[in-house]
């Protein structure tokens, strides 16, 4: 994605201008695509449908009642149309694994 490429370059450039500041660029799109393509590695089964919502991919109408949620909320990547499930826990661990190790 062009935006991410340019943003990465700008962050590197800013880091050179401000050597005492630690700036980290995280490409969420690339990370999300890795999780979708390699979902089994991360213990996820459902890559296209959200856990809670209606319509195509359960993303047309947001979750408005608990009954709309899926039976097993640990399998889908997406909780509803915009947000991955367990963002802090799951994606935070993913980002930590990719950056610090």
Residue spans of the domains in the chain: they are: 2-100
pTM greater than 0.85? no
Q: Where are the alpha helices (DSSP H) in 23-79?
A: 28-37
Longest dimension (CA), the chain: 52
| pLDDT, tens digit, 9 for 90 and up, residues 67-98 | 777 777 666 666 655 555 555 555 566 566 66
| pLDDT, tens digit, 9 for 90 and up, residues 48-58 | 777 777 777 77
């Amino acid at each position: 994605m062009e935006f991410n490429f340019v943003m990465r370059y700008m962050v590197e450039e800013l880091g050179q201008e401000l050597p005492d500041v630690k700036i980290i660029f995280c490409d969420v799109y690339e990370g999300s695509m890795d999780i979708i393509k390699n979902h089994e590695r991360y213990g996820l089964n459902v890559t296209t449908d959200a856990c809670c919502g209606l319509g195509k991919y359960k993303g047309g109408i947001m979750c408005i009642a608990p009954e709309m949620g899926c039976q097993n909320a640990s399998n889908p990547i997406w909780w509803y149309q915009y947000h991955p499930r367990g963002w802090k826990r799951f994606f935070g661990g993913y980002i930590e694994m990719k950056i610090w190790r």
